[in-house]
Amino acid sequence: MQFKFCHFNFNVLDLDRSLKFYREALGLEPVREKTAGDGSFRLVYLGDGETPFQLELTWLRDRSEPYDLGEGEIHLALYVDDYAAARARHEEMGCVCFVNDAMGIYFIEDPDGYWIEILPASR
């Protein structure tokens, strides 16, 4: 029996704002979507165009309160081929929330408070 990664989910309050963030910050684009017949939820799966892994953004119509992210220790990690350019873009966007220069990594925060670790591809 073999298991393979498929996708990871983030619940979001404002789907359009999140889609814009993930497109601008990470170049992720929608690869498939599902909308409930009654409009109660919408799922948008984002891909990087390179790997089969997807980030699922879930929007729930009746949700208006921010999600409880626990202690904030859960995060998504992405490699980038041009670490310096990515960091400059994220600094300009104002979404860098933590930097660890000693480890050569930094984190950005999405509109709902999820942290995304950025690593150089050369690691």
The residue from 29, 65, 91, 117 that is catalytic is 117
Tokens 């081929």 sit on residue? 81
What was the pLDDT predicted at 1?
86
**Is 11 a residue whose pLDDT tops 70?**
yes
DSSP H stretches of helix in 1-123:
15-26, 83-93
| Average confidence (pLDDT) over 1-9 | 89
Residue 73: active-site member: no
Q: What angle do CA 70, 28, 92 make, to 5 degrees?
A: 80
Q: How far apart are CA 26 and CA 21, in angstroms?
A: 8
Binned at pLDDT 50, 70 and 90, residue 31 comes out as very high
Please, what sign has the CA dihedral across residues 30, 44, 87, 83? negative
**Is 123 a residue whose pLDDT tops 70?**
no
Mean pLDDT of the chain: 95
Domain definitions of the chain by residue range: 7-62+74-120
Picking from 72, 59, 57, the residue whose alpha carbon sits closest to that of residue 10 is: 57
Q: Which fold has domain 7-62+74-120?
A: 2,3-Dihydroxybiphenyl 1,2-Dioxygenase; domain 1 (3.10.180)
Taking only the tens place, the pLDDT of each residue in 38-67 is: 999 999 999 999 999 999 999 999 999 999
